[in-house]
Structure 1
Amino acid sequence: MARYLKTSDIAKAVGVHVNTVRLYEAQGFLPPILRSPAGYRRFTRAHLEQMRLAYLALKYPYAGGKQVVVDLVTYAAEGDLGMAMELAYEYLTNVRMERTHAEAAVEFLERWAQGQSLDMTKHTLTIGQVAKHLGVTIDQLRNWDRNGLLDVPRDPETNYRLYSATEIGRLRVIRMLRQSGYSLMAILRMMRRFDAGERERLREVLDTPGDNEDIETVADRWLTTLAQQEERAQAIIQQISAMIDLGQP
């Protein structure tokens, strides 16, 4: 490798546009870059490895939190690879925690789908009572209803929604899936299959958009996204390790 690299060399090696290299430099994600007497940037191998780290870490999505990856890239650019490594493991921990929550929500769903009652309410409740009972807002309940996640019977005289144990149990599943990161579209897809009699493949359905669906968010295939983010976290750790080795005599 030549002693110095050009902006185009860095861009080509990482697989990005030269403007991305310049943007990362401007944002402080690369170490200070010396200039030639003619004003050209003089990149080194250290800059190249830092650019690889930055591009790997800063790509959307950020299942384990955006700020932690921004901080670890910044620390690495400043030469503190120990702190960068510490934050990389924090990011890995965050992703694994989110993945655990997502898996637990699916297990909760599967238990409900196999017929276990998840609520023992003896009488029907109004929307306000249900909101208080489940710790959600009335607007959330109305939104889930409008989006087709459940069909709540109404009082024939007042037209008010009346929630029984059946609806409340279903709402518990919806709430847990939402709190664990799944999108409304993914939950709707799964609920439609459930209502059609599907009971065995709901985990797969929850994570697999149909051919006629537009994927609008990573939460439409949340389990896959989290698995990919755990792999990325491990790759970040390996890249920082390689940078540490590069700087050692």
Structure 2
Amino acid sequence: MSNLRPADLAREHGLSTQAVRNYERDGFLPPAERTASGYRVYTAVHAAALRAYLALVPAYGYAAAGQIMRAVNDDDLDKALTIIDRGHAQLLRDRETLRSVRGAVEHVIAESGSRTDLSGDTRTIGELAHRLEVTPATLRAWEQAGILTPDRDPATGYRRYGATDLRDADLAHLLRRGGYLLDHIAAVLAQVRTAGGTDALAAALDDWQARLTAQGLSMLDAAATLSAYTTLRHAPPANHTHPA
């Protein structure tokens, strides 16, 4: 098996040689042998390990990719496969959540479009909280984050949620179910208000779908490269014959 230098592995992926050494230090690559002068000597096994790690990152994230490679290099395949299984289970949950959110969004849009007296459709904070099955404190937190912008009754000073607020509250509730953070929801709803519709939300859901698809494809690629690495790692050494 031919010897490789750190620079040879680094060049294939546009990395620095220090990054390759760091990956070995962190256990993502198997330990390299050293020459008498202390230089690292890598082989095709190390090159395959690096390909596998870099393919695992977009599929499962940096932390999980590192855990998988350390488990494989420790010959604990069951641990590595368990981490991989968790990643696939999370992707399936994300797909199911997205499907539910899309269906609910269509309902919200249809319901908003069916209102005939939009100016008179207002709710108090308690009424809106009851409708969404959240607490008034949650709605106040959404308001503080810029997600909701209710008017105030000039006589009482109480919050009054109009038709646009109801739409925004429904959409915020859906996006929270999809795992979005408050600051991201606020940015999406700001775009919805600026556009005067739900195009921004549709774009956010399309982006979410694209990210899930890309992750699924990355998982396929990672499976192939990891399988190639484990096969090469356990292959018997090649017999070298020398010409007479």
TM-score normalised over the length of structure 1: 0.73
Aligned equivalent of 1:186, options 171, 174, 188: 188
Against the structure 1 CA distance between its residues 132 and 70, is the aligned structure 2 distance closer, same or farther, given a 3 Å change threshold? farther
Give the AA of the match of 2:92. R
More helix by share: 2
Q: Is the 8 A contact 1:109 1:173 kept in 2?
A: yes
Q: Name the residue aligned to 1:145.
A: 143
Against the structure 1 CA distance between its residues 66 and 243, is the aligned structure 2 distance closer, same or farther, given a 3 Å change threshold? closer
Structure 1 distance, partners of 2:189, 2:202, is: 12
Q: Is the 8 A contact 2:5 2:41 kept in 1?
A: yes
Q: Name the residue aligned to 2:216.
A: 230
Aligned equivalent of 2:105, options 109, 118, 121: 109
- Matching of residues 40-119 of structure 1 within 5 Å: 40-58=39-57, 67-115=63-111
Q: Is the 8 A contact 1:72 1:87 kept in 2?
A: yes
Q: Is the 8 A contact 1:53 1:236 kept in 2?
A: yes
Against the structure 1 CA distance between its residues 82 and 12, is the aligned structure 2 distance closer, same or farther, given a 3 Å change threshold? farther
Q: Is the 8 A contact 1:81 1:244 kept in 2?
A: no
Q: What is the CA-CA distance between 1:129 and the residue it aligns to?
A: 7.5
Q: Is the 8 A contact 2:125 2:136 kept in 1?
A: no
Q: What is the CA-CA distance between 1:9 and the residue it aligns to?
A: 0.7
Q: What is the CA-CA distance between 1:67 and the residue it aligns to?
A: 4.3
Give CA-to-partner distance per residue, 1:68-110, whole Å, 9 cap, x none. Answer: 3332122123233453234223212212312321232122112
Structure 2 distance, partners of 1:137, 1:16, is: 51
Q: Is the 8 A contact 2:168 2:189 kept in 1?
A: no
Q: Is the 8 A contact 1:190 1:205 kept in 2?
A: no
Q: Name the residue aligned to 1:125.
A: 124
Against the structure 1 CA distance between its residues 109 and 202, is the aligned structure 2 distance closer, same or farther, given a 3 Å change threshold? farther
Q: Is the 8 A contact 2:71 2:79 kept in 1?
A: yes
Q: Name the residue aligned to 1:32.
A: 31
- Secondary structure at 1:114's aligned position in 2? helix
Q: Highest Rg: 1 or 2?
A: 2
- 1:242 paired to 2:216: no
Give the AA of the match of 1:89. D
Query: What stretches of structure 2 of length at least 5 have no aligned partner?
Result: 114-120, 237-244
Q: What is the CA-CA distance between 1:116 and the residue it aligns to?
A: 6.3
Q: Is the 8 A contact 1:69 1:91 kept in 2?
A: no
Q: Is the 8 A contact 2:6 2:40 kept in 1?
A: yes
Aligned equivalent of 1:158, options 156, 159, 182: 156
Q: What is the CA-CA distance between 1:29 and the residue it aligns to?
A: 1.5
Q: Name the residue aligned to 1:18.
A: 17
Give the AA of the match of 1:229. Q
Q: What is the CA-CA distance between 1:148 and the residue it aligns to?
A: 5.1
Q: Which stretches of structure 1, 4 residues or longer, exceed 6 Å deviation after superposition? A: none
- Secondary structure at 1:188's aligned position in 2? helix
Fraction of identical pairs, as percent: 23
Against the structure 1 CA distance between its residues 142 and 123, is the aligned structure 2 distance closer, same or farther, given a 3 Å change threshold? closer
Give CA-to-partner distance per residue, 1:173-203, whole Å, 9 cap, x none. Answer: 212213313422234324544xx2x46x566
TM-score normalised over the length of structure 2: 0.74
CA RMSD of aligned residues (A): 3.4
Q: Is the 8 A contact 2:102 2:205 kept in 1?
A: no
